[in-house]
Amino acid sequence: MRTFPDIRFRDPQVEMAHGAGGKATRRLIEGLFLPLLANPALAALSDAALVDLNGAPVALTADAFVVKPLRFPGGSIGELAVNGTINDLAVCGARPVALMAAFILEAGLPGEALQAEVTAMAEAARRAGVSVAGGDTKVVEHGLADGMYITTFGFGLPDPRLRLGSHEVRPGDRILLSGPIGDHGITILLARGDLDLEADLRSDTRPLTALADALAEAAAPGLRWMRDPTRGGVASALNELAAETGRGVVLYEEEIPVRDEVRGACEILGLDPLHIANEGQLLAVVDPAYAEAALAALRRSAGGEDAALIGEIREDPPRAVLALTRYGGSRVVDMLVGDPLPRIC
Amino acid sequence: MRTFPDIRFRDPQVEMAHGAGGKATRRLIEGLFLPLLANPALAALSDAALVDLNGAPVALTADAFVVKPLRFPGGSIGELAVNGTINDLAVCGARPVALMAAFILEAGLPGEALQAEVTAMAEAARRAGVSVAGGDTKVVEHGLADGMYITTFGFGLPDPRLRLGSHEVRPGDRILLSGPIGDHGITILLARGDLDLEADLRSDTRPLTALADALAEAAAPGLRWMRDPTRGGVASALNELAAETGRGVVLYEEEIPVRDEVRGACEILGLDPLHIANEGQLLAVVDPAYAEAALAALRRSAGGEDAALIGEIREDPPRAVLALTRYGGSRVVDMLVGDPLPRIC
Helix H or strand E segment including B239: helix B233-245
Q: Percentage helix, strand, coil, to 5, in chain B?
A: 35, 25, 40
Specify the pLDDT at position B3: 53
β-pairing, B49-53 vs B320-324, is: unpaired
Task: State the DSSP string of B100-163.
Answer: EEEEEEETT-BHHHHHHHHHHHHHHHHHHT-EEEEEEEEEE-TTSTTSEEEEEEEEEEE-TT--
Domain with CATH 3.30.1330.10 in chain A: 56-158
How much is the pTM?
A: 0.96
Shortest CA gap B199–chain A (Å): 26
DSSP state of B336: P
Q: Is the pLDDT of residue A307 over 70?
A: yes
Distance of alpha carbon A332 from alpha carbon A321, whole angstroms: 6
Distance of alpha carbon B278 from alpha carbon B262, whole angstroms: 12
pLDDT-wise least confident of A174-183, A273-282, B55-64: B55-64
Nearest residue, CB atoms, A104 vs list B66, B122, B123: B66
Residue (of A242, A248, A277, A237) closest to A83 by Cα position: A277
Specify the pLDDT at position B5: 60
Specify the pLDDT at position B1: 43
Q: In chain B, what is the greatest distance between 2 CA atoms, to the nearest angstrom?
A: 59
Q: Is the pLDDT of residue A1 over 50?
A: no
Residue (of A282, A276, A60) closest to A155 by Cα position: A60
DSSP state of A16: G
Specify the pLDDT at position A210: 96
User: For residue A167, how many other CB atoms are within 10 A of its CB?
Assistant: 12
Using DSSP, state whether A340 is helix, strand or coil. coil
Q: Which parts of chain B sit beneath pLDDT 70?
A: 1-5, 45
β-pairing, A320-324 vs A248-252, is: parallel
Q: Where does the pLDDT of residue A47 fall: very low under 50, low under 70, confident under 90, or very high at 90 and above?
A: confident
A97-154 pLDDT per residue, tens? 999 999 999 999 999 999 999 999 999 999 999 999 999 999 999 999 999 999 999 9
Domain with CATH 3.90.650.10 in chain B: 166-332
Cβ–Cβ of A18/B139 closer than 8 Å?
yes
Q: Is the pLDDT of residue A48 over 90?
A: no
Specify the pLDDT at position A46: 74
**Residue B58 at interface with chain A, using a CB cutoff of 8 Å:** yes
Q: Is the pLDDT of residue A216 over 80?
A: yes
DSSP state of A142: T
The CATH superfamily assigned to B166-332 is: PurM-like C-terminal domain (3.90.650.10)
A56-158: which CATH topology?
A: 60s Ribosomal Protein L30; Chain: A; (3.30.1330)
Residues of A in contact with B106 (CB under 8 A): 14
β-pairing, A94-106 vs A148-158, is: antiparallel
Residues of B in contact with A126 (CB under 8 A): 2
**Residue B7 at interface with chain A, using a CB cutoff of 8 Å:** yes
